[in-house]
């Protein structure tokens, strides 16, 4: 979605730094590292469903960042009602460094987050699929689509602009995907037989 806004490097850095501060402290994020180069090759932020975000240290001045934050608020504002629980983990976004793509790193990170859910008694793993590749990974792992958010009809609540209408999305929608952790546990016990 950030690509659609054409964020500058400074805007991306500001957004990433502030979101990272809020999300990493929850202890539900995972990374993959190349042990030979000691470089990060993949990352997934994990957000607990019952977590309340602190305010950004300073309010974002960039209208583009404000658009992105309001979209996140829109997507996450009714999750408890949509999912029927607040006991979920948002596994979002999953980023893999391009030179490490096609090595199933995103899949492995999702499995780690699912195991984290098992260990912590979390009911659902959820995410917002914003690409065809993300949808295919989710489908391969048994995630189901709970809801679609049409970006052609989405309007920013403050400006009324359709700022994400040109986003490259399957069916022009962001897909809310979920997997029941109990289903994952059954799959794991069946694979051991």
How far is it, in rounded angstroms, from Cα 142 to Cα 180? 9
Q: How confident is the model at residue 145 (pLDDT cuts 50, 70, 90)?
A: very high
Banded model confidence at residue 97, pLDDT cuts 50, 70, 90: confident
pLDDT band of 57, cuts 50, 70, 90: low
Domain that includes residue 79, residue range: 2-191
Q: What is the CATH number of the domain that holds 38?
A: 3.40.630.30
In the predicted structure, residue 60 carries a pLDDT above the cut 80: no
The residues with which 34 forms a beta bridge, in sequence order, are 39
pLDDT of residue 193: 62
Res 48 pLDDT > 90? no
pLDDT tens track for 160-192: 999 999 888 888 999 999 999 999 999 988 877
Structure confidence at residue 75 as a pLDDT band (50, 70, 90): very high
pTM for the model stands at: 0.85
Residue 46 pairs in a beta bridge with: 91
Give one word for 104, left, alpha or beta, with left for phi > 0 and alpha for psi -120 to 50. left
Domain total in the chain? 1
């Amino acid at each position: 979605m950030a690509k659609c806004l054409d964020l500058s490097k400074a805007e991306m850095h500001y957004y990433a730094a502030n979101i990272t501060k809020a999300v990493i402290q929850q202890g539900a994020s995972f990374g993959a590292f190349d042990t030979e180069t000691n470089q990060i090759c993949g990352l997934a932020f994990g957000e607990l469903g019952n977590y309340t975000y602190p305010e950004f240290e300073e309010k974002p001045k960039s209208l583009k960042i404000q658009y992105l934050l309001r979209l996140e608020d829109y997507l996450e504002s009714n999750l408890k009602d949509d999912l029927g629980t607040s006991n979920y983990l948002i596994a979002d976004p999953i980023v893999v460094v391009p030179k490490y793509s096609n090595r199933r790193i995103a899949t492995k990170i999702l499995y780690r987050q699912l195991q984290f859910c098992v260990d912590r008694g979390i009911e659902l793993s959820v995410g917002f699929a914003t690409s065809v590749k993300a949808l295919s990974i989710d489908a391969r792992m048994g995630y189901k689509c709970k809801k679609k958010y049409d970006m052609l009809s989405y309007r920013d609540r403050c400006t009324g602009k359709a700022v994400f209408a040109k986003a490259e999305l399957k069916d022009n929608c962001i897909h809310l995907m979920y997997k029941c952790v109990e289903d994952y546990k059954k799959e794991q016990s069946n694979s051991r037989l």
